[in-house]
Structure 1
Amino acid sequence: MSLDPRTLLRELFDTAIAAAHPAQTLARHLPRVHGGRTIVIGAGKAAGAMAEVAEAHWNGEVDGLVVAPYGYGANCQRIEVVEAAHPVPDDAGERVARRVLELVSGLTEDDRVIFLLSGGGSALLALPAEGISLDDKRALNKALLKSGAAIDEMNCVRKHLSAIKGGRLARACWPASVYTYAISDVPGDEATVIASGPTVGDPTTSADALAILKRYGIEVPAHIRAWLEDPRSETVKPGDPCLARSYFTLIATPQQALDAAAAKAREAGLEVLILGDLEGESRDVAKVHAGIARQVRKHGQPLKAPCLILSGGETTVTVRGKGRGGRNAEFLLSLTAALKGEPGIWALAGDTDGIDGMENNAGALMSPCSYKRALAAGLNPLHELDDNNGFGFFAELGDLVTTGPTRTNVNDFRAILILESAEQ
């Protein structure tokens, strides 16, 4: 492995992504072929790649339908792969959700459904509840994305406005067996949160959804509030009989990706500190990382340089400005402002799905020179942060990280490389 900081950080990012790819993780979990029909359905950023693996390793007859974001398709012969919009749903997502429900209706106890689930599935399987339009869901989704709400809070609201999420898909499949194979993109790997848990019981309530909307000051039309106050809006709860034949298996997690990157870093002679899944405002999480990195460099605690700090999870961005950028660019912009060119500290932050927010980059890279280069270019990091302009900032420096669609998603990847101590 190269010790050039830029190359090293990119190699670590690519290693983390590869460790979570369905080609490495799915086949060994698939159930054995036996009598009855086998239907494959799926949704998410990894759905196309998962469908390819399922089709290639399933020896019996199989057909099905999965939905992936635009540009994340697959070359399947027996399983249809449809593309739709993410993170704000479109008509294609609504149509495919209706088709999925039709496909799994009327099954028997001898049949089985293989459900391939990954992050992004919540927006891609967009089937509004009774009396709620897709435009309603689009508007609310945009408001939630801008509000700074955590992923579990957003998905709580989504589940209670859906005709397919929050265990309702498992109910539609009953009495067939349902085997859900999931790639986690959420802190804690909670099955009820991944893509809003279409095949698992949901412990949250409609009252919880209303409280979240109130917490973030999100106004909703009267008919949406009326629906959330209606008992029919409640999701399928844990222990419901329709879940008795529903089985859930995690095949890839953020921790697996971090462990793979850590192993690669150790091969290069680096000590590694894994902080794990983190949540919170991107700019605030960055300040904590900056403090740890500075402590390492100045005092050799909790590690001595050269070393690597890794973290994952999903931070949030409360949008106040008019700039461009996702949570990873915002994290690095805040890190740049906090470190102010501290020598020997490099960092890369990126989304393992290849898309940071709604931009075409996965993330960006910060070097010890980023702060001075920005000032020389007339860019004040704090001003750019106030405008939520992480994408614009790192685009100007030529330090965006672009992967294209990775066809997996285990959420954010952050790596801070500290190559020297203050005593040197």
Structure 2
Amino acid sequence: MSNMCKRKNYTAWCQECATSYFKKNFTKWTSGNRKIDETQTNSKILEDFIEWIPYEQLEDIKKVSYGGFGTIYSAYWTQGPLYMDLIGFKRVGRIHVALKSGISSEHLEELQMHIKCCTKLNSYSYNAHGKNGSSPIIRCYGLTKCHKSKNDKEYMLVIQFAENSDLRKYLSKNFYQMRWLEDKMSILANIANGLKIIHNEGLTHLDLHCGNILIDNDRSCVSDFGLSRPFDHKDSTTCKQIFGVVPFIAPEIFENKLFSPKSDVYSFGIIMWIFTSGILPFHNRKYNEELATEIYYGARPQIIHGTPPCFVDLMQRCWDPKPEKRPTSSEIYDTICSWYYLKNYKEFRAFDKILLSQNKQDIENQVVQSTPNSSRRNNSYHSCIIDNSYHSCRIDLRRISTFSRVQDSDQVNLEIP
């Protein structure tokens, strides 16, 4: 029973108490946008709650990085998340958070979709006292707006801060000390579990790559749901341009086909390959429409010597050109867990020895030798067509079709590993 309204309540959240609380304090917290405010007053359960956070409650704000859709900042939220017990509302207290800019109120439908995805997934990263659990989904605390910003229509997401940065940086630092079962399978199982949760909620991620996998105290979390959509969202079939990091985009997307959970599975297969190599796929190529065309025609990263056969089999199934032949995220998670719980113990132990005997140059040589000479690009693996950085960018599907016609007429033979 809630001591505030004296009504029976079997959860850690009372909607009537919450609505009353927010209305009494409306002038202190309102976002100035009715639709955004309603995400708080309409929350039926604790996990649905996306809070409006006054910018004045954020301090020690420092720029960390930038992505294809905005800038990431480190900050401290002085109040911390709200939660409710039988006595009333309480705050967790000062916590470390990340701020993500680039969310505009001019595209309110997109903003509402983003919030909806966050509220669906927050239940997996929330406990009764407002603290982070062991979820494979990064937690979204709420929204804020920087009053100092030149664009007064731009909002910022306030999300869980990952202490160990993203997967790309983590692997760059730790790859040659990682063992198959204890390290790699643990991280991959968590990513697969996060993907399974997203798909079970009727969503697709649409932008899964190493930069959107965050490592928090050696635990991987799926993040950045800015592009996430329900399976049947109308935008999936009408867009002439797509966003993403080219090697992680499923080939059917380049044909302007419907996004599906199997598109995310393809991206997961590419992430698996990075765990075998320690470097980015097609790392000596520009991430542009030309590479997208080659991927559409079947180009995949070279299989690295010293990769366990069972791992190769699952990875290749994930990046199969036909979506219907790819496994589901649930199947991937179950398979990796079976490896993790020693089903293939001896096999992975044997390949640990092979991996430890290799160095970075050995692996890079394998990848370079598998790349067609005619299309090599030195030192350009950070490139994309917008800003020459390893982040999601815009791909024009019309240019891909132009490349396709050229390749068809010239009968270019791609060297596909």
TM-score, structure 1 as length reference: 0.26
More RCO (CA 8 Å, sep 6+): 1
